[in-house]
Each structure stands twice: as structure tokens, then as C-alpha cells.
Structure 1
Amino acid sequence: MTGPYLYDEGPEALHTGTPRRRNGLILAVFGATLAVGVGMVVALPLVKGSGDEQAREAVGVFTAALAAGDTETAGDLLCEAERDRADAEGRTAEELAVAYAPAGGAGSGGEVTGVEPGELDGKDARQVGVRWDDGSESTLLVVLEDGPRVCGTTSGD
């Protein structure tokens, strides 16, 4: 460039120093992201509870719903396979849920007596023992399927 300059020395380059690398900032951002991700994975079981706790809670809600005659809630807690079985038998999920109670009736409540590890079709499951109001006992199978779901029962005395 030629011409009159504001200063006698002429135009100066805007960046005259040697460039500095700022890898530390990038590494800090990635490190913080990794730390948050690991923290969330570790904290998730603390928030949601273990598989045993989730199974115990789901069966508690299921039996309380049956005791209150709330068959809609009990039916919503059934797994997809049980819903399909109800459809195949020409019943609703609510009607199938009522069949889980002793003597097949709503209004029967129960108490969770224990949780054992189990398996259903190669998937991790929990076997939850229930003592019903009439004194009978059964085991409900709970699988994690979009949340804990009741997916079968065995009766015993």
C-alpha cells in the first residue's frame, strides 16, 4: 500500500507475536465432559435404585392397585408378553392382572416377602415373593422392560 499514513512508520501487522497453542483448554473441556458422563452413570443406580428395589416397588404398586380395585394401574404394570397373551385369549390387560390375585379377584392385597434373582427368555429378571391377604403365597416375575413390569406368576401354598 502506498499513500499517506496516519503514523510515519506505516501499517503494522496485526499479529506480530508467535502463535500460542491452547490445547489445555480443549483437554479441560473434554475432561469435564467425560467426568460428568461417568458421574451420571455412577449416580443413576442411586436415583433409580437397584434392580431388586425397582422390582420390590413395582410389585408393591401392583398389589396395592389390586387391593384398591384399580385394575387399570395393575394392567399397566404388565409386560408386553403378558399384554399379548391377554389379547390372544380375548381378554384385556386389566382382566389378566386381576387373575394374578388369589381366587382371581380384585380387592386382594399382598405384601412383598422377598426378592430373588431370576431369568426370563435369557433376560435378567427378579422373582418377587408375595404373601396375599388370604394367606396364600405366590411369586411374581418382574422384568425391566421400559421400567419394571410384572411378567408372570407361580402360585404356591
Structure 2
Amino acid sequence: MAKKKNQKKAESYAKKSAVETLRFQTHWGLKQLGQQDGNLFHELVDAEVNFIAELDLAQDLLAIKSLVDGVKQSFAVVPTAEKGDFTKSPTAVALGIAHINEINNIGIPLSWSEMIAQKILTIYYPEEYRNQIVDWAKTNGYNISTYLGRPIVKFSKLYIIIDRTRA
């Protein structure tokens, strides 16, 4: 009984820690994008992070950020700007999961409930890097599969298709 209680306590702590890490990293990302503390984007990100925490997606988003950061470090390439399912999320933009040309034109934020219902989301990379990125993800321990012939990275609640953009 005590072991089960300790396990639940550890899981609860891990979730809280993931939410706080997500909140810190999004605020840091906004500062890197030139957004000052306390402006509208910081408020939007806080509201979105709260909603993400309620849906228990914080750990998945941090894992997706880790994947995108690893790809950026290894290949010096970022997701294609203005493409993909994460482009309407201020949190995803701040984390670097999605890229847009002008943050002030982000538009109406997406609904994370709809994204969970969709379950399979897409991140686009330039065509010449896509296969290398998939190979890198495999060798770095990401759970890779295919869906309709396209590579997919499996996280606990979300599945990410790594798709290619043609020039």
C-alpha cells in the first residue's frame, strides 16, 4: 500500500514539475522572440499552459520540444515556417515546436481539446532532411512507426507525423 502511495505521489510531482518546466520554457521562448514580460502573449501562454496541464499534455509537449531541439542541434534545421498543426499555438511557437514569420499574426489560438481528438498531428521539415531526421529520432530512442507510409513519432498522448515540405 505504501509503495502504491509513493508511486502516485511521484507521478503527481512529475506532472507538476513538467507543467512548471513548460511554463518557464514558454516564457523564456517568448523573451527570445522579443516579447516582454506581462504582455498579451505571456497571458495567452499562461492560459494555454493551464489548459495543457488539465489535459495532461505537459510531458508530451516537453518531449516534442526535446525532439525538435535535438533535430535543430544535429542538422541546423527547424520546422517549416507557417506549416503544421502547431502554428496556431503561442506555447508551441514559444517552445520552437512551430515557427511563424511574425508572432503578432498568430491568429486565433487552436483548441487543445480538438488536437487531442485529432490525435495525429504534423510537423513539417524540408524534404531533403526528413529521412535523416527520422533516422536520428530512431537512434535517439524515440518510438517511431509509420502511418499511411509516413513516419510517426509516438508520445504518451499525441502522435507526431514528420512530413516533408517540397521546395
Per the TM superposition, whether the score is higher than 0.5 is: no
User: Normalised by the size of structure 1, how large is the TM-score?
Assistant: 0.25
Normalising by structure 2, we get a TM-score of 0.24
Q: Which has the larger radius of gyration?
A: 1
